[in-house]
Amino acid sequence: DAMVIQNPRYQVTQFGKPVTLSCSQTLNHNVMYWYQQKSSQAPKLLFHYYDKDFNNEADTPDNFQSRRPNTSFCFLDIRSPGLGDAAMYLCATSRDLGLETQYFGPGTRLLVL
Amino acid sequence: GESVGLHLPTLSVQEGDNSIINCAYSNSASDYFIWYKQESGKGPQFIIDIRSNMDKRQGQRVTVLLNKTVKHLSLQIAATQPGDSAVYFCAENEDTGFQKLVFGTGTRLLVSP
């Protein structure tokens, strides 16, 4: 089945220790998104890639970076995780920009010790 | 905008009842609306969508109603089942250039057997 896959499902890191979360998709969609979701809140968009074009949300901290080496994969790098970065990180894809449905992966729950 | 707060509105229903989940959206220029279901520890799952040129759309056991006059969206679930228990988010596609998806606060649906 075509899908959005996130690994790992749970990630524990130490305060200040860089961590990378990964996302892959078999949908061959052009757009990939990263969201942060804290407990009992709605997902918050961090950034998105349209093909190789990276678009950062204005309020996304510099601590968060992303890479998309090819159509299928996208990575979220947190350079120096703080306690406030503990959250669920969701990857999503859409076929194109515009009025398109976004399809979400299962998420990676990040714990910062 | 981003939802805030630790306490989600909650709707409690009995199995077999019909459920209605409401959402007030913010942008009168939004063209596209989606309902997502999010079970605990999982990513949001697409349920149904509707475009602004429609006022009603039906799926399997679900109906979405759109009232553009008062900027209101509702999700009706017929014959609610325990497996429907989840948090439900409405999302509007806001025209900010790349048409960013903006999520509502979310409603927790609890279905008792």
Strand pairing partners for B49? B34
Q: Which two tokens stand for residue A100?
A: 């398109």
The predicted pLDDT at position B4 comes to: 38
Residue-level pLDDT at A19: 97
CB contact set of B29 (below 8 Å; sequence gap of 6+): B94, B95
Would you list the domain boundaries of chain A?
4-104
Give the length of chain A: 113
- Average pLDDT (A4-29) is 95
Residue with tokens 């229903």: B13
- The whole-number pLDDT of residue B7 equals 67
Q: Tell whether omega for the bond before A8 is within 30 degrees of 0, i.e. cis.
A: yes
A40 shares contact with chain B (CB less than 8 Å): yes
Instruction: List CB contacts of B13: < 8 A, sequence separation 6 or more.
Output: B19, B80, B109, B110, B111, B112
**For B51-100, how does the pLDDT look when each residue is reduced to its tens digit (9 = 90+)?**
999 999 999 999 999 999 999 999 999 999 999 999 999 999 876 666 68
Check CB contact under 8 Å for A42 and B41.
no
- Lowest-confidence segment of A16-20, A45-49, B23-27 by average pLDDT: B23-27
Count chain A–chain B contacts defined by CB atoms under 8 A.
Answer: 60
Q: What is the CA B2 to chain-centroid distance, rounded?
A: 15
Is a pLDDT exceeding 70 seen at residue B2?
no
Question: Considering only alpha carbons, which residue of chain A is nearest residue B51?
Answer: A99
Distance of alpha carbon A80 from alpha carbon B60, whole angstroms: 45
Q: Which of B3, B36, B41 sits opposite A41 (nearest CB)?
A: B3
The mean pLDDT value of chain B amounts to: 89
Section B9-22 average pLDDT: 96
For residue B96, the one-letter residue type is T
Cα Rg, chain B, nearest whole Å: 14
- Mind listing the domains of chain B with CATH numbers? 17-112 (2.60.40.10)
Record: contact B106-A45, CB cut-off 8 A? no
Q: How many CB atoms lie within 10 A of CB A63?
A: 13
Q: Are A73 and A48 in contact (CB under 8 A)?
A: no
Indicate which of A9, A27, A29, A40 best probes the interface with B, i.e. most B CBs within 10 Å of its own CB. A40
Q: Note whether A98 contacts B3, CB cutoff 8 Å.
A: no
Say which CATH class A4-104 falls into.
mainly beta
Say whether pLDDT at B3 is over 60: no
Q: Given pLDDT bands bounded at 50, 70 and 90, which one contains residue B28?
A: confident
Inter-chain residue contact A42 with B3, CB threshold 8 Å = yes
Arithmetic mean of pLDDT over chain A: 94
